[in-house]
Amino acid sequence: MNEQQLKRITDVCVLAMATTFALYVRYCFRNFETTDFRLDTSLWYAAVQQQGLAAAGTGVSNYAPTYLYLLYLVSVLLPAVPAVVAIKIPSVVFDFLCAGLVYRIVGLKYANRRIAALAFLTVLMAPTVVLNGSLWGQSDSIYTAMLLACVYALMTGRALPAMLAFGAALALKLQSMFLAPCIFALWLRRRLPFWSLLLVPVVYALAMVPAWLEGRTMLDLATIYVSQSGTFHELTRNSPNLYTWLPQRYYTLLVPAGLLLMGAIGAAFVWLVWRSRAKLAPALVLRLSLLSLLMVPYFLPKMHDRYFFPADVLSIAYGFYFPGQYYVPVAISFASFFAYQPFLVGHPVLPLRLLGLVMAGALIAVTVSAYRDLRTQGEASDR
């Protein structure tokens, strides 16, 4: 056995042990119950166990029925698993898929696969990734994996898989639209062909077919996200964004104002990308993707603590791609992690306004870098 083979075997063993540890950490959290489980997801899973796929045709869940399909699959494959464990299984599986996609994204830059493997492990052990699925039982890793697949396809210039992945993400969570400004800007720059955007509603409609066949109306399925938007009436639900500084008593005024503000910022983003002559190399596409995932939840009202999750994960790829900006994923993960605490431990650990300031710092850093690269006509820099 030569030295090169020995290094390869060592790398595989280290990666396997670290991955096993990441899985063990999730196993330790398997029985943790939150109020979300007791009030919502446990009821959804019980309905799936009792009614099968027919539960997707009812209004038992305020999520898109795509999530119920996954719970139904778990109930069929692992019928003896306790509900609190069962609802976490899809999220844990997609944690690993997210890590694998970050591995692929980082691998676009580095020939040394050790760096990509380190990014893979960083995702698996990132605080919000561990807490979101295996502890909290949330499903954010599922649609985030689809968004990462979309970003990877955009970086490699493959329009068809990019739009299929984005359509699948949208069929899971409306928060997938956080990537929409980047996609629309790249479409205007002809990175995506004209017809490609049509794939998104097609994929969404196809995902709704099983629920429709089980009796749910197409109008209900087409407007499910509209009904979701009226669930809570708070400017920010522990989200570290702009609205941490604004008074709740002006909710009725600030919500439409916030929508207009985000519309203006999104239009400016799209216009700048469209007017730029910078080469849309993979590095710049990554910058624009992360900027989109950061700015939308930062400037939109009515955001929740978990809505920066896609940015949490993609920022890890960003930090490896641009090591000079290692502080960006650190700041994003820091702000998101402590934003979770009021729900998980019952009280804030750090002031939400401070977390909003930290997230603003990360947003400004990515914005400045993206703007600088848009003003050049060459490759994006590594800074």
d(CA 365, CA 349): 25
Total domains in the fold of the chain? 1
Q: By residue range, what is the domain housing residue 25?
A: 3-30+88-374
The answer to the question of residue 23 being in a domain is yes
The answer to the question of residue 36 being in a domain is no
The answer to the question of residue 381 being in a domain is no
The answer to the question of residue 35 being in a domain is no
The answer to the question of residue 172 being in a domain is yes
Question: Which pLDDT does position 111 carry in this prediction?
Answer: 87
pTM assigned to the model? 0.94
pLDDT at 47 over 90: yes
Question: Which pLDDT does position 233 carry in this prediction?
Answer: 84
d(CA 175, CA 306): 10
Question: Which pLDDT does position 58 carry in this prediction?
Answer: 87
The answer to the question of residue 157 being in a domain is yes
The answer to the question of residue 293 being in a domain is yes
pLDDT at 383 over 70: no
364's torsion region: left (phi>0), alpha (psi -120 to 50) or beta?
alpha
Question: Which pLDDT does position 379 carry in this prediction?
Answer: 54
Distance of CA 73 to the CA centre of its chain: 22
The answer to the question of residue 289 being in a domain is yes
Question: Which pLDDT does position 7 carry in this prediction?
Answer: 74
Q: In terms of pLDDT, which residue wins out, 144 or 222?
A: 144
pLDDT at 1 over 80: no
pLDDT at 378 over 60: no
pLDDT digits 0-9 by tens, 331-363: 999 999 999 998 888 888 899 999 999 999 999
